[in-house]
Structure 1
C-alpha cells in the first residue's frame, strides 16, 4: 500500500511502500515525518514520494549517503559538534536525501521547546544544513535549502515560552565607559576603552600578545574573526599610552594550573572577564553591559548615530564587510520616545 500517515505519540509517522503505477519501488517502511500535524505529514509524504520516484528513475548512487556518514565528513568545531550530538538521535541511520527542510525546521520545537526560533535556527538548522551541504560539495548527495522561521512563527514561539527574543541591545557610551573605568583596575579599564575605540570583539581583544603591539606606529595586530582576516588596526595616542603602561600577564589555563603565554589584558578566554565586569559595574552604579554591547555596539552607535559618520566609513572603521549590516544591527538610537511624542504634538499645534 502507498505511504500513509499515522499518529505515534505527538509525531506523525508514515508507513507503507512507494509505488509507480501500482508497482512498489521500495520495501515496506515505517518512518517519522517529523510533523506535528496530519497536513504536515502528508506534505512530507508527497515530497518523499517524489524523491524516491526520481531516485528510482535517475539512479540512487548520490542518495545512499547516511546522515551519520555525512557528519563524519564534516570538519565540525567543538561547539558545532555539541549541537550535532543533540540532533543525531533524530536523524541517525537516515539517508541524507530523505531529510526534508520541513522536517529539519520541525526539530526545533521538539528538541528545544523552551527556546526561541533564532536558537532553533542557530543550533539545529544551521549545523545540520552545513553537514548536508558539505557532503553535497563532495558530490555525495543533493544540497538542502531551508526556509527561515517567519516573524509570525517567532512571535508565536515567544508568546508560548513567555519571553521575547531579539531584545534591543543597549550599546556602551562615553558616560557608561567613564564610570566603568573610574572603578575598574587598569587592565579592565584599558580593555573596555580598547574595544569601544577599535570595535574589536572580545575574542580578539583577549588574544592580544605583547608582540601584537606596534606602539611606535600607533597600531595593533588583531586576529581574524568571523571571516575577517587578521590585520593592523590604528589606535589613538591615548590608547598607545594606556597599552604602554600595561605589563602583560600570564593567565592560567581553564583546566589545570598551566600558565599560558603572556596576554596584554591578562585574560585566558573571552568569557574570563564576565564576573569581574559585573563587580565593576555594580561598584560604579551602572547596568552590566557584556563586552560586545559595551564595545562593538557602542563603537558603531557612537560613530554613526552620535557623531553622524557616514555608514561606509563607520563600517570600514569597524571592519564590517557589508556596510548595510551594522546599520541594521549595531546602530541604536538615543532618542527619548516620550520627548519625540511631545515634539510631534507641539509641531501640530504651533
Structure 2
C-alpha cells in the first residue's frame, strides 16, 4: 500500500510503504509528518519518497543530504539555532558534495561583519559535527576542515575594520582587592572564587548550597568543555566566605520562573556584566569580564608571577594539556621598554687578567 495520510487531532500522520516501480522499497510507515495542513503532509510524502528512491537506486551514503543528516543529529539548543540558517544554504546538498572549502565560504555570505573565529565557531563547527555524526551512523564520507589561517583572519579584520583576538588583560591581586572593596558580598566572593579556582562563569553561577562540602573545603562544579563534573578544593577562607552567603533564587528572564537556589544568586552567565561594570567604575579600575578575571588571572598569577610549573598549574585549573594555557592564558608582564633598554646599557666587562711574564732561561754553556 503506497503512503497515505490521515489526521490525528490537529496533525497529519502517514501510513503505508514507499514504492518504486510498483514495488515497496521502504516501510512500513506509521508516524507523524508534524504538519497541521494536508498540503504540508503531501510535501512530507514527496520529500520522503524522493529520499528513499535515491537511496534505493544510488545507495544511502551517496544520496544522504545535509538536511537528512540534521534529522539524525542530537543538537543542543544553541547548536539547533546555529544550524537553521545553515540548512537554508546547504540543506539540499548531498553530504558527499560538501567540502571544507564550501563550509568556510559560508562565513562571508552568512555573517559578513564578524571575525573568522566566529565563522569557525558558529558555522563550520556545527555543520562539520552534523556531517561527521552521519559518517559514524551511516558511513557517509568523513569531513576534515582546515582552520582559517592568519592571512584570512587579517584580511577579514581589514574588511570589517575591526581587530579580532584582542589580547585579554588578566586580573591581578591588586585588581581583585580593589574590585572586592566596592562590590557586594556575592560578587566579591564570586570573583575571588573564580580567581582562586579557574572556574568558568557558568560553573560559578550554577553552584547550589548542596555543592559545598565545608568539612573538606570542597566545591562541586558542573561538567563543561569536555570535562566531567568534579569536586575541587578551595582554601578555608574561601569556604568560609561561601558559607556566609545566603543563597538566592534567581528568576529565568525568559519565562519568569524561579530557579533553584544559587550560592552567588545569578541565573545566567551574562547576568553579572552590568553589576561588574558599575563596581569597576566605582573602584577606578578597568572593566574585566569573568574569563580574564578568573581563568586568565589564575594561570598568569601562578605561572608568571609565582613561578609555579605549567604542568601543576594546568592540572589545578583543569586543563588537560598544559600547552593550551601556556599559549592562551599565560600573559607576559615584562615592561617592553625595559627590555629594549638592555641593549643600550654597556655590559660590565671583566678586566683581562695579565698573562704571566715568561722567564728567560739562560742557556747554560759548558766549560771547555
Q: TM-score range by the shorter chain?
A: 0.7 to 0.9
* Alignment partners' CA distance in 1, 2:160 and 2:348: 44
Post-superposition shift, 1:84?
1.1
* Alignment partners' CA distance in 1, 2:322 and 2:71: 37
Q: Give the TM-score taking structure 2 as reference length.
A: 0.77
Post-superposition shift, 1:140?
4.1
SS state at 1:217 partner:
coil
* Alignment partners' CA distance in 2, 1:273 and 1:73: 37
5 Å matches for 1:190-339? 190-339=189-338
SS state at 2:220 partner:
strand
C-alpha RMSD over aligned residues: 1.7
For structure 1, the 5+ residue unaligned runs are 1-58
Post-superposition shift, 1:249?
1.0
CA contact (8 A) 1:218 1:237 kept: yes
SS state at 1:251 partner:
coil
Instruction: Work out whether 1:155 is the aligned partner of 2:154.
Output: yes
SS state at 1:119 partner:
helix
Post-superposition shift, 1:347?
5.2
Post-superposition shift, 1:139?
2.2
Q: Which runs of 4+ in 1 moved over 6 A?
A: none
Which residue of structure 1 lines up, in the alignment, with residue 97 of structure 2? 98
* Alignment partners' CA distance in 2, 1:60 and 1:105: 28
Which residue of structure 1 lines up, in the alignment, with residue 36 of structure 2? none
Q: How many matched pairs?
A: 294
* Alignment partners' CA distance in 1, 2:333 and 2:175: 13
Which residue of structure 2 lines up, in the alignment, with residue 145 of structure 1? 144
* Alignment partners' CA distance in 1, 2:338 and 2:331: 17
- Give deviations 1:116-137, integer Å, cap 9, x for gaps: 1111111111111100000001
CA contact (8 A) 1:65 1:140 kept: no
* Alignment partners' CA distance in 1, 2:343 and 2:174: 28
* Alignment partners' CA distance in 2, 1:344 and 1:230: 51
* Alignment partners' CA distance in 1, 2:93 and 2:256: 44
SS state at 2:232 partner:
strand
Post-superposition shift, 1:349?
8.6
SS state at 2:194 partner:
helix
* Alignment partners' CA distance in 2, 1:314 and 1:306: 12
Structure having the higher Rg = 2
Which residue of structure 2 lines up, in the alignment, with residue 62 of structure 1? 61
Which residue of structure 1 lines up, in the alignment, with residue 55 of structure 2? none
Post-superposition shift, 1:206?
0.5
